[in-house]
C-alpha cells in the first residue's frame, strides 16, 4: 500500500507542512479524567498500554531527522550570504516553527496509527489472519526518512495491517447517514452545490462502499480490543472518500468507552 499524500509530503521541504492530513483529531469520548488509571498512558488497546513516552520517542525521532535537514538548509543559506542577518534569522525562525508544527501533527498521527495497528493486530490474531511485513523501504523513500527511523517503522506497520484488513472486506451499502456525512464534507469544502437528494445518486456502494466496510471493520476491531483513549487525547480516524476531484471523509472515533 502506498503512503498517502499527507505522509508523502514529509519528503518535500517543510513549506509543505502536513496541512492536508487525512488523520484528524477531535473530541469524541466521555471517559472522565478522574477515571483514568495511569496518567503516563494515553491509550489502552487490548493488552497494550500506549504511553506518552513511547509516542514522544517516535515524534522526536522524526524531529531529529527533519531537524537536521532544516539546519543544513540554514547553514547553506548562511554560507551563500545572499540574505541579510535579519532575513536569515526570520527564515530560520519560520522553518523551525514549521518543524515544530509538523512534529506536533505527526505526534497525533503516531498515536492514531499505534491505536489502529494494535487493534487490527489483535483482530488479525483472533481471526487467524497473517500480518504482512511492513514495506519500510517504500515508506522511507516516500517520507524522505531513513528506514531505521521510528516514525517509518510506525507508518510501515500501520499500512501493513491496514492493507491486510482491506483485503478482507467487500463494499457495503452506505446508509443515508453515511451519505449525509460525506455530502456535508463536500459542501463544507465548497466542492458541491447540488442538493443532497441529487448527491445520493452518486454516493453509492460503488463509490464509497469500500470505505464504509473498512470503517465498520475497524470499528469492530477497536470494540473487540476495548479501546480507551485518555480524554485529552480523544481521536477520530478519517477515511477518505474520493468524489470526482475532491475528497470528504467518514469519521471513526477511536475511543470505544461508553
Q: Which tens digits make up the pLDDT trace of 119-147? A: 999 999 999 999 999 999 999 999 999 99
User: How far apart are alpha carbons 70 and 67 in whole angstroms?
Assistant: 5
pLDDT digits (tens, 9 = 90+) for 31-83: 455 568 788 999 999 999 999 999 999 999 999 999 999 999 999 999 888 88
In the chain, the number of structural domains is: 1
Using CA atoms, how far apart are residues 156 and 164, in angstroms rounded to an integer? 12
Quick check: is 247 in a domain?
yes
Banded pLDDT at 99 (limits 50, 70, 90): very high
Q: Is residue 189 part of a domain?
A: yes
pTM for the structure as a whole = 0.82
Q: Which domain holds residue 189?
A: 5-253
Classify residue 201: in a domain, yes or no.
yes
Please indicate, yes or no, if residue 50 is contained in any of the structural domains.
yes
3-state secondary structure of 50: strand
pLDDT class for 219, splitting at 50, 70, 90? very high
Give the pLDDT confidence score for residue 160 in this predicted structure.
Answer: 97
Evaluate whether residue 258 is within a structural domain.
no
Rg of the Cα trace of the chain?
Answer: 20
What's the rounded Cα separation, in Å, for the pair 240 and 212? Answer: 10
CA–CA distances in Å: residue 233 to residues 104, 216, 217, 220: 13, 22, 22, 21
Query: Is position 67 within any domain?
Result: yes
Residue 102 within a domain: yes
- Please write the tens of the pLDDT for every residue from 16-25: 223 233 334 3
Amino acid at each position: 500500500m502506498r503512503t498517502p499524500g499527507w505522509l508523502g509530503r514529509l519528503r518535500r521541504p517543510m513549506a509543505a507542512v502536513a496541512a492536508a492530513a487525512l488523520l484528524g483529531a477531535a473530541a469524541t469520548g466521555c471517559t472522565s479524567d478522574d477515571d483514568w488509571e495511569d496518567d503516563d498512558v494515553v491509550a489502552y488497546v487490548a493488552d497494550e498500554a500506549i504511553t506518552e513516552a513511547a509516542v514522544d520517542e517516535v515524534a522526536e525521532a522524526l524531529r531529529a531527522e527533519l531537524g537536521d535537514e532544516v539546519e543544513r538548509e540554514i547553514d547553506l543559506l548562511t554560507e551563500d550570504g545572499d540574505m541579510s542577518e535579519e532575513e536569515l534569522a526570520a527564515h530560520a525562525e519560520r522553518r523551525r516553527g514549521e518543524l515544530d508544527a509538523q512534529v506536533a501533527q505527526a505526534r497525533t498521527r503516531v498515536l492514531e496509527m499505534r491505536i489502529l495497528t494494535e487493534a487490527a493486530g489483535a483482530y488479525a490474531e483472533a481471526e487467524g489472519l497473517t500480518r504482512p511485513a511492513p514495506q519500510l523501504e517504500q515508506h522511507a523513500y516516500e517520507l524522505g526518512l531513513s528506514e531505521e527511523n521510528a516514525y517509518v517503522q510506525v507508518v510501515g506497520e500501520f499500512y501493513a495491517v491496514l492493507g491486510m484488513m482491506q483485503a478482507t472486506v467487500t463494499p457495503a451499502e452506505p446508509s443515508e447517514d453515511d451519505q449525509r456525512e460525506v455530502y456535508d464534507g463536500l459542501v463544507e469544502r465548497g466542492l458541491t452545490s447540488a442538493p443532497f437528494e441529487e448527491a445520493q445518486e452518486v454516493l453509492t456502494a460503488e463509490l464509497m462502499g469500500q470505505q464504509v466496510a473498512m470503517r465498520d471493520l475497524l470499528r469492530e476491531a477497536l470494540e473487540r480490543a476495548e479501546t480507551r483513549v485518555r480524554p485529552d487525547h480523544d481521536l477520530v480516524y478519517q477515511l477518505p472518500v474520493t468524489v470526482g476531484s475532491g475528497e470528504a471523509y467518514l469519521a471513526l472515533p477511536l475511543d470505544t468507552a461508553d
